[in-house]
Chain A
Amino acid sequence: MTVISRTLGAAVVFASLGAFQAQAAECIAPADPGGGWDFTCRTVGKLLHDLDLVDEPVQVTNMPGGVGATAYANVMSKRADDDSLLVATSTVGVTQIAQDKYPAGTDVMRWIAMLGTDVGVLVVPADSEMEDLDDLVEALKEDPGSVPTAGSSGAGGWDHIRLLMLADAAGISAEDYKQIRWVQFDGGSPAVTQMLGGQVDLVSTDLGEIAGFVESGDIRILAALSDDPIPAFPDAPTAIEQGYEVTGYNWRGFYTGGEVSDEVYESWVERLSDLYESDEWKEAARSSGLVPVWRGGEEFEAYVNEQAEQMNQISREIGVIE
């Protein structure tokens, strides 16, 4: 009797677990609440439900650790075939992978899509003597240590690498650009406020978080690291316009476990594509300073692999990894 009731009970529990997993989608934000990945999960999760692309509200789980490495390891080892799972990531995550700071390479996951991108910018205080990139490059060529620079990542992080890519494009040798002073702050806004306080001369970071300071006129965009001028600030010159072939996007997107079926993978790509097409996403992206850009499915997988390869190369050149 007890055996039967226990089996029944277990069956009920399993059935409900199964039902739960099939219905409610989960989005893992591999960071503490409040960061960019958390925002990606919450915004996209909310829109997926609002647009009836999923039946139940998307549950957001914060799994901070190792700049996404903890979540990566967790999904890789425990949830590789979980049909209901999205994990938020961005260029920052791929940088970590490229520098071997994740437990595995890009091949263990299925990369679903990117929905938008933040644009890297180099900014200076409004009253800075530097008028354009040529001024910056000239100063750096004369003495690479003469301009203290800052951003929201540590040395070897994406903010730092973007700046060094520019130095590289300007013909400054690796020996020299290694000597550029780099100060890490816990975000773009703290870096900008410290720059306004006179501690550093230049900040390299994503535009989204600091757009308010540009609008208020406290700081100036020396160069936007994008192919085309930024829609919100069409007058801000791109690096390419100034003769330096550098772009530095920070895209936002999702991966899922490496063992989900093609069918499930395709359905995620499709749902995110529908979300991307909606006006609601365009609005949400715009208000948080993102430029909507779509790359999905196999095209996105190829893009991620290529980017990881490229960053690995840059990281080696600048000596961040051996």
Chain B
Amino acid sequence: METLNLLADGFAVALTPTNLMLALLGCFLGTLIGSLPGLGPVNGVAILIPVAFSLELDPTSALILLSCIYYGCMYGGRISSILLNIPGDEPAIMTTLDGYPMAKAGKASEALAISAVASFIGATFATIGLTLFAPMLASVAIHFGPSDYFALYVMAFATIGGITGANPFKTLIAAFLGLMIASVGLDPGTGVARFTFDSFHLYDGFDPIVAIVGLFAISEVLMYLEKMDQLPDKMVPLGRAIPKMKDILSGGWAYMRGSVIGFVSGVLPGAGASLGAFLSYIGEQRWSDKDGSFGKGNPKGVAAPEAGNNSASGGALIPMLTLGVPGSGTTAVMLALLISLNIQPGPLLFERQPDIVWGLIAALYIANVVLLLLNIPLISLFTRMLSMPQWILMPFVVMVSFMGIYSISHSTFDLLVMVGFGVLGYILRKIGVSLVPIILGLLLGADMENNLRRSLSISDGNFAILFQSPIALTLYAITAIMLCLSFYLAFRKRRGAESAP
């Protein structure tokens, strides 16, 4: 009951006309920034922090503006995933798997609507979780040690082979390629430079977002250049401008399942939104892929990862606020923002500055509603993008990619890296290797390695530590069951195929 009172106070703070206007502005800007390749929530929030300061907003208003931008970016990331097969940010990668095939089949508006609803459900679910259980969940998350995180990543990698309908062998090769790319840079444990060839540009390794934009956006442009003279522009069927309710509902329970899985990985500071989206997709695929339509435009393949990544970003606010531990790049920026507003996140935040915390939480509820209302009418506008001729769209993609990447690090070296990844992506597409597992390998590989290293530092090199914690053992058991299940299903499918006439 006390929580509800506090939340009501929060709404009283958030619902003033100025704050509502800021929420609207933040949501709009966020969606826009999130939808541009290379510009994700990290840049979005970082770029707009000075704006918040120069407007001389009070702390609560500034926080409302920026958290709306954060949520807006998470919503926006999926738009270019679905329409162009170019993820707007890291967690939106999984959305390309089924979102883009849907768009190609003339169901762009349905995919956008499903992802908007999924984002809404996921983020709202997480915000409710944040409202009710934040301090409790944080104290549970503390007991997740490095060896448990390692087990979680093992689970992710064990299932990576099955994510694309195509050749699992090629998928695994792609994942290993990602792992190899992840090993470049300063070893965080010892500070030893690995594969940097004495160039300090490579000390920090390859930024996943640079790899994503190169592999997806630049290679897309290269593919287009290759085919430019061969065929006339083939128009993608636009489909309906306004999706039917029935199509939106086809996500079904996938919305909820994605939300729950995403939320759990969001609360764990070592996991985060990308892993949340990935596990949601994998979970949903195991749960409901009866006919192998995942990866070919199954609406549930859009609903689950979108609910998952938005739920994870909401969940990630829990360790950020209650422990001061950011689970992702964006929450790290939010943390810096809070500190520069003289708000110290940590175990005492909820007691000391309840008005700010609850104002923020109320703002998140409002942001969700605003984003849903804002996004549904915009769907017809976004789908229009598909009718834009390729010779206009592609140069635009190149321009935005270069600008986005340059704005992250102000380094021309990153632009070269991006082009390099573009060429790599082009070659891999030509030989039929899926690009998504590369990014997953890159994103998850570094964290997996760090946690393995930490476990072994704790145990002084004794590998037994990996199998001592009950959490890790449970995760390994789940992994084993999932693997057995997929072998069994493959076996049954083959037998079914043989016995069929």
| B457 CB → nearest A CB, Å | 4
A67 adjacent to chain B (CB < 8 Å): yes
- Contact, CB under 8 Å: A65 / B336: no
Interface membership of chain B positions 145-163, coded 1 if the CB is closer than 8 angstroms to chain A and 0 otherwise = 1100000000000000000
Docked complex Cα distance between A157 and B191 (Å)? 8
Chain A residues near B411: list those with CB within 8 A.
63, 65, 70
Chain B contact residues, CB within 8 Å of chain A: 42, 45-46, 49-50, 53-54, 141-146, 186-191, 200-201, 203-204, 269-270, 319, 323-326, 329, 332-333, 335-336, 339-340, 342, 344-349, 408-411, 450, 453-454, 457-458, 460
Q: Given A69-B200, A154-B190, check contact A212 B333 (CB 8 Å).
A: no
A interface residue numbers (CB < 8 A to B): 32-35, 38-39, 42-43, 46, 57, 59-67, 69-70, 73, 99, 101-103, 145, 148, 154-157, 181-187, 189-190, 193-194, 196-200, 209-213, 215-216, 218, 284, 287-288, 320
Q: Which of A57, A66, A200 contacts B203, CB < 8 Å?
A: A66
In whole angstroms, how far apart are the Cα atoms of A186 and B327 in the complex? 10
Contact A64 B190 (CB under 8 A): no
Contact of B332 among A32, A57, A185 (CB under 8 A): A32
When distances are taken between beta carbons in the complex, the residues of chain B under 8 Å from A212 are 324, 344-349
Q: How far is the CB of B32 from chain A (nearest CB, A)?
A: 19
Cross-interface CB contact of B50 among A60, A209, A320, cutoff 8 Å: A60
The answer to whether A287 and B342 touch across the interface, beta carbons within 8 angstroms, is: yes
From B42, B187, B347, residue with most partner A Cβ within 10 Å: B347
Asked whether B454 lies within 8 Å of A67 as measured between CB atoms, the reply is: no
Q: Which of A148, A155, A287 contacts B344 (CB 8 A)?
A: A287
User: Could you tell me the distance between the alpha carbons of A284 and B344 in the complex, rounded to whole angstroms?
Assistant: 12
Q: How far is the CA of A91 from the CA of B48 in the complex (A)?
A: 29
Task: Report Cα–Cα, A61/B50, bound state, in Å.
Answer: 11
Q: Which residues of B contact A73 (CB under 8 A)?
A: 200
Check B186–A67 contact: CB distance below 8 A. yes
Tell me how far the C-beta of B122 lies from the nearest C-beta in chain A, rounded to whole angstroms. Answer: 24
Pick the 5 closest A-B CB pairs, nearest first: A212-B346, A66-B203, A34-B332, A33-B46, A216-B347
**What are the residues of chain B within 8 A of A59 when measuring CB–CB?**
50
- A261–B186 Cα distance when bound, in Å, is 35
The answer to whether A154 touches B49, judged by C-beta atoms less than 8 angstroms apart, is no
A148-B187 in contact (CB<8A): no
24 contacts between A and B (CB under 8 A): A33-B336, A34-B46, A34-B326, A35-B336, A39-B336, A42-B336, A60-B50, A62-B408, A70-B201, A99-B191, A101-B191, A101-B200, A102-B200, A156-B190, A181-B460, A183-B457, A185-B454, A190-B325, A197-B142, A197-B145, A199-B458, A211-B346, A212-B349, A216-B348
Q: Pick the residue among B144, B336, B457 that contacts A34 (CB under 8 A).
A: B336
Known contacts A190-B325, A200-B458; decide if A42 and B340 are in contact (CB<8 Å): yes
Task: Determine the chain A residues whose CB is within 8 A of the CB of B190 once the complex forms.
Answer: 154-156
CB distance from B147 to the nearest CB of A (A): 9
Q: Which A residues are CB-close (under 8 A) to B454?
A: 183-185
Q: Do B458 and A67 touch (CB < 8 A)?
A: no
How long is the Cα–Cα vector from A61 to B201 in the complex, in angstroms? 17
Report which residue of A35, A189, A211 has the largest number of chain B beta carbons within 10 angstroms of its beta carbon.
A189
| Contact (Cβ within 8 A) B332 A211 | no
Asked whether A62 and B200 contact (CB < 8 A) given A154-B190, A216-B347, the answer is no
A32-B329, A33-B333 known; A155 vs B189 contact (CB < 8 Å): yes
Contact B323 A189 (CB under 8 A): yes
Given A154-B190, A155-B190, A213-B346, the answer on whether A42 and B49 have CB atoms closer than 8 Å is yes
Q: How far is the CB of B269 from chain A (nearest CB, A)?
A: 7
Q: Chain B residues near A66 (CB, 8 Å)? A: 186, 200-201, 203-204
| In the complex, residue of chain A having the shortest beta-carbon distance to the beta carbon of B203 | A66
Q: Nearest CB to that of B347 among chain A residues?
A: A216
Q: Which residue of B lies closest to A196 (CB)?
A: B142
Give the residues in chain B near A157, CB-CB below 8 Å. 191
Q: Would B335 and A216 count as touching, CB distance under 8 A?
A: no
Residues in chain B near residue A38, CB distance under 8 A: 336
Query: Would A70 and B188 be within 8 Å (CB), given that A189-B324, A211-B344 are in contact?
Result: no
Within 8 Å CB of B270, what residues of A? 190
Q: Which of B144, B325, B458 contacts A181, CB < 8 Å?
A: B458
Please indicate the chain B residues that have their CB under 8 angstroms from the CB of A183 in the complex.
Answer: 146, 454, 457-458
How far, in whole Å, are A186 and B451 apart by their CA atoms in the complex? 11
